[in-house]
Chain A
């Protein structure tokens, strides 16, 4: 029973990491930038969600509000900050790293601005359904209706995302622009707009990850929330484990990481929760440096 419990907790946490990893992968694929501000964007989206909950009273309105807010903000960052940056820092040793360093800076800026607007204290979003564990044969699990809900919503979003990518023209444009921007342009794809769209989708995915990370924890969040630092680290590591270029890899990386951490915390020590993701990352990098999906190096168009 404890084994099943550990597995289910890991899958739930892992599905949230998977969403965050997808956000990293979408941005990486569209602009070759590792967006460390992703956690800040997710946090900001969670504040959007908080505003929606406190005004309109429903988590189910807050979720799309946070997603749309997160998507618009991310699109804005790409349009205004990233494009300017690429234009102004296009040569010299700084060119490759400038956008990545800028995202680190942006992370700090977002947190400060949030503190100025909402203050530094803990705010709270109440989960839409109970986080008390299911009871089976008299023993109570940690796995709860809320965790089940998180899992179902994430799975539905993943299915929608995969339909978007595999079955629509927009998805074809997104994939073509990621793999071969020049061929995409020659085929008539407006690659610049597609890049912005990639950021927007990442913003929406990060928003869901942020809200769920919050309600799946104790419901509290603040500009310095440790939950969001953990989300940043875990999402990034999950994306790297998945090969950074693959959406399927991001999902598998997230689940793998979530389940591994869950087992480490349950069977080794619960004090390891900040070290475990890094150790797991190092092990994966040693064993399979190309990530678990195993896209061969040097084939990138």
Chain B
């Protein structure tokens, strides 16, 4: 197991947003975390990348305890987080946003290689490389946000609602890309999604979160078949 979370609890002030969550994601697998608004999905993901400090519990990554490490350190250990809402910096160009992802690597050649790799994955970004990123469409911005994370050479990719606010056709593309990246780059991925069906379709395993607690863990395909999950999260 490359990512192991045990009994993780995270508070927002007095509110307990994540309550005694335990989960494990094997290397190279894509885990989808689904659940309603306010289920604690985003908070859980932010605790994994160091943006939120857990109250208690342990996060273990590749045999090392990383609970409450800072994000700027975790990215150096191979953990990249794409936060909610097309996380790009509008004031910077596409190239600058991408270079930002590799800024800690201090190796010009590696940066160039990663840049070429990202442009191969997302040719659209190559076409718009010198544009300010606020001129991009919603889908392109999400590609840029994922591209920036790839520039950090991650082994664990944390994705928060990549489908948010995108047209259905674009959502399908983004999900397919995430699946392809997982397989091709042997990434371990934790994908947080409101779009439960879309996420479970591409995931290896599914985790259902409700009011800060894990209420179901199973193979993604099995969850899609599960009548309770269908009724509550898939809408039929």
Identify the A interface with B (CB < 8 A). Answer: 169, 172-173, 175-176, 179-180, 182-191, 299, 301
A169 x B103 contact (CB < 8 A): yes
- A130 to B49, alpha carbons, bound, how many Å? 59
Contacts of B87 in A (CB 8 A): 180, 183, 186
Contact A187-B103, Cβ < 8 Å, known A182-B51, A182-B83: yes
* Size category of the binding interface on chain B: 20 to 34
Question: In the complex, A169 Cα to B103 Cα: how many Å?
Answer: 7
CA distance A172 to B89 in the complex (A): 11
Closest residue of A by beta carbon distance from B82:
A186
Q: Would A190 and B89 be within 8 Å (CB), given that A172-B96, A182-B51, A182-B83 are in contact?
A: no
> Which single residue of chain A is at the shortest CB-CB distance from B101?
A187
Known: A172-B96, A172-B100, A176-B100. A186 touches B89 (CB 8 A): no
Give the most central of A184, A188, A301: most B CB within 10 Å: A188
Cα(A182)–Cα(B76), bound, Å: 16
Contact B83 A188 (CB under 8 A): no
Query: Which of these, A175, A182, A189, A299, contacts B104 with CB under 8 Å?
Result: A189
12 A-B residue pairs with Cβ-Cβ distance under 8 Å, sorted by A, are A172-B96, A175-B89, A175-B92, A175-B96, A183-B100, A185-B70, A186-B71, A186-B80, A187-B148, A189-B103, A190-B72, A299-B90
Cβ B89 vs Cβ A188 within 8 A = no
A183/B80 in contact, CB under 8 A: no
Please determine whether B104 and A188 come into contact, CB atoms closer than 8 angstroms. Answer: yes
Please give, as numbers and ranges, the residues of chain B lying within 8 Å of A184 by CB-CB distance.
Answer: 100
CB pair B51 A183 closer than 8 Å: no
CA A179 – CA B92 in complex, angstroms?
9
The reply on B91 being an interface residue by CB < 8 A is: yes
Within the assembled complex, what's the spacing in Å between the Cα atoms of A178 and B101? 16
Binary contact readout B65-100 vs A (1 if CB under 8 angstroms, 0 otherwise)? 000001110011000110100011111100010011
Interface residues in B92-132 by Cβ distance below 8 A to A read 92, 96, 99-101, 103-104, 106
B22 vs chain A, min Cβ distance (A): 25
Contacts of A182 in B (CB 8 A): 51, 83
Given contacts A173-B103, A186-B71, A188-B104, list 18 more A-B pairs with CB under 8 A: A169-B99, A169-B103, A172-B100, A175-B96, A179-B89, A179-B90, A180-B87, A180-B89, A183-B83, A183-B87, A183-B88, A186-B83, A187-B75, A188-B76, A190-B72, A191-B72, A299-B134, A301-B91
A105 to B49, CA, bound (A): 38
Please tell me if the beta carbons of B72 and A188 are within 8 angstroms of each other in the complex. Answer: yes
Shortest Cβ distance from residue B146 to the other chain A in the assembled complex, whole angstroms: 13
